[in-house]
């Protein structure tokens, strides 16, 4: 795959008038711009993802029921909410990236405030799901004991739900300006604090689930406070020009873009959630859920790298489209896909080698570790696909194609992947392996479709669309409302 992409990259560059002897310099310059965004984004996402993994590791040593319950809350509920809020916030990524590329810096702060309003309302709408988790899970056929404990954990997770609003929006606001290094510093400090507090409250003082969840809540909110201080306190003088009543005006276009973004991304994140729910109806559900949760956590760690590339390519594409350069947008896409694919292949080989031995990081159960070993091949192929698919989704975010990709996701994931998985898992009786194989098929088809869309796009036309979008929300910088 990498060789084919590299060949197409060379062809595109040459056809765009870039001389062959300057290609290495072009790649180097573009890579520096990309890694300024991708490096901190990968570290931040890995650190943030690590918060849940650390909590899971401590809870896993409290008991298998608690581990299974937390796995469901984290993988189903929090991922459900995460998918909606992160997806809706990605609309901000499109607007801020293109506005920054067009040098309409004052618009970034207004887009941020509008997004705060939209996401806060959305989080409140999601609140009943967290309050009534236990009866909802029981109605879906989950084990009663696991459902009851999940209900307790979900109530503790409500502050985490609202932390997503500030976290996602501030990250995308700063990424659009390539200022996300501050987020990485905050994530590193928070991760260290979370490890210490989790040990202190669950091991030293033996507060059990309440201790683990208190540490988790603090870990999600501390970076938000730091980001707000940085943004409002003078770290973004060009792009943050104060609170404005204009944030309450012309919200409907923002809502529409946020909704299409939310549908696009949450359809992807819910895909794995459905895998967990289907597994909960199989025999030996507790072992199956624990093993699958461990695999998805390992997969999630690697996914943080891909999401870093997603952030980088979305910012680079949005900036270049806003700036009016279709050629540089194309170059950014190919450069990012090739580098992400190479890293994905290396990790594919790595996880094939270690297999079930990694399970002992999360559990003491030999049965769970054995099940993880059986699933390791599927895990490795998931990692390989993750190195390409999220990057292409990032291209869609940068260009503002969220609604198109939403339809692609529905067709590939929900009309093909899940039905195939159900047939293989329940009819053919392959269990969790069959369900996972079917869903991998859906991901493979979705990746192929996104590749086709990206390669066939008229990028000059996308530049015109981006410039119209920027001018749509343009306001007068001299307005007294902005001061």
pLDDT category, 22, cuts 50, 70, 90? confident
Residue 9 confidence class, pLDDT cut points 50, 70, 90: very low
> Which pLDDT belongs to residue 3?
47
| 418-444 pLDDT per residue, tens | 899 888 888 888 877 888 888 889 889
pLDDT > 50? residue 388: yes
More confident residue, 119 or 25: 119
Residue 10: predicted pLDDT: 41
- Confidence (pLDDT) at 245: 84
Distance, in Å, from the CA atom of 326 to the CA atom of 13, rounded to the nearest integer, reads: 12
Per-residue pLDDT of 28-64, as tens digits, reads: 888 898 999 889 988 888 888 788 888 888 888 888 8
The predicted structure's pLDDT at residue 216: 93
| Ordered alpha helix ranges (H), 16-157 | 23-60, 64-72, 79-101, 106-131, 133-139, 144-156
pTM for this predicted structure:
0.79
Looking at every residue in the chain, the average pLDDT score rounds to: 83
Query: What is the distance between the alpha carbons of residues 467 and 396, in angstroms, rounded to a whole number?
Result: 16
Residue ranges of the alpha helices (H) in 176-284?
181-198, 208-230, 252-279
Q: What is the pLDDT of residue 272?
A: 66
272-302 confidence digits (pLDDT tens): 667 666 665 555 556 666 777 778 777 777 7
pLDDT at position 18 is 43
Higher pLDDT, 32 or 15: 32
Within 400-478, where are the H helices?
Answer: 402-409, 418-422, 432-456, 459-472
pLDDT tens by residue, 194-208:
999 999 999 888 888
Residues 309-362 pLDDT 10s: 988 999 999 999 988 888 889 999 999 999 999 998 998 888 788 776 777 777
Does residue 121 have a pLDDT over 90?
yes
Extract the tokens encoding 449.
């479709």
- Domains in the chain: boundaries: 2-475
Interior CA angle at 335 toward 340 and 83, to 5°? 50
Tell me the percentage of the chain whose pLDDT exceeds 90. 28
**In terms of Cα–Cα distance, which of 135, 215, 223 is closest to 180?**
223
**What was the pLDDT predicted at 280?**
58
């Amino acid at each position: 795959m990498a060789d084919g992409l590299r060949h197409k990259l060379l062809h595109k560059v040459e056809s765009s008038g870039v001389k062959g002897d300057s290609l290495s310099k072009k790649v180097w310059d573009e890579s520096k711009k990309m890694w300024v965004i991708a490096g901190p984004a990968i570290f931040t996402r890995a650190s943030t993802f690590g918060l849940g993994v650390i909590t899971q590791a401590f809870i896993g040593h409290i008991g298998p029921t608690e581990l299974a319950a937390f796995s469901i809350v984290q993988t189903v509920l929090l991922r459900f909410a995460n998918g909606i809020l992160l997806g809706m916030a990605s609309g901000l990524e499109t607007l801020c990236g293109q506005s920054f590329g067009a040098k309409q810096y004052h618009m970034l702060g207004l887009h941020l405030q509008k997004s705060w309003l939209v996401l806060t309302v959305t989080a409140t709408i999601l609140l009943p799901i967290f309050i009534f988790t236990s009866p909802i899970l029981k109605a879906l056929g989950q084990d009663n004991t696991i459902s009851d404990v999940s209900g307790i954990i979900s109530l503790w997770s409500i502050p985490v739900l609202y932390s997503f609003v500030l976290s996602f929006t501030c990250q995308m606001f700063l990424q659009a300006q390539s200022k996300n290094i501050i987020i990485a510093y905050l994530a590193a400090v928070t991760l260290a604090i979370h490890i210490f507090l989790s040990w202190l409250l669950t091991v030293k003082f033996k507060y059990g689930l309440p201790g683990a969840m208190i540490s988790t809540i603090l870990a999600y909110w501390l970076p938000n406070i730091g980001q707000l201080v940085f943004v409002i306190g003078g770290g973004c003088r060009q792009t943050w020009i104060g609170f404005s009543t204009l944030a309450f005006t012309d919200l409907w276009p923002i809502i529409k873009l946020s909704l299409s973004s939310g549908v696009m991304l949450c359809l992807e994140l819910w895909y794995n959630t459905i895998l967990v729910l289907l597994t909960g109806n199989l025999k030996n559900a507790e072992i199956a859920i624990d093993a699958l949760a461990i695999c998805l956590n390992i997969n999630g760690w690697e996914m943080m790298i891909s999401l870093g590339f997603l952030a980088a390519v979305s910012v680079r594409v949005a900036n270049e489209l806003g700036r009016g350069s279709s050629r540089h947008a194309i170059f950014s896409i190919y450069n990012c896909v090739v580098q992400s694919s190479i890293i994905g292949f290396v990790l594919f080989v790595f996880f094939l080698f270690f297999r079930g031995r990694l399970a002992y990081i999360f559990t003491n159960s030999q049965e769970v570790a054995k099940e993880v070993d059986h699933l390791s091949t599927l895990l490795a192929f998931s990692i390989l696909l993750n190195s390409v698919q999220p990057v292409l989704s990032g291209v869609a975010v940068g260009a503002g194609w969220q609604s198109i990709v939403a339809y692609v996701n529905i067709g590939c994931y929900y009309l093909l992947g899940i039905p195939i998985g159900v047939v293989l898992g329940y009819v053919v009786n392959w269990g969790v392996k069959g369900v996972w194989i079917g869903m991998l098929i859906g991901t493979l088809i979705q990746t192929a479709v996104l590749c086709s869309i990206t390669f066939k796009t008229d990028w000059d036309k996308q530049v015109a669309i981006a410039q119209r979008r920027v001018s749509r929300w343009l306001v007068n910088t001299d307005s007294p409302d902005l001061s």
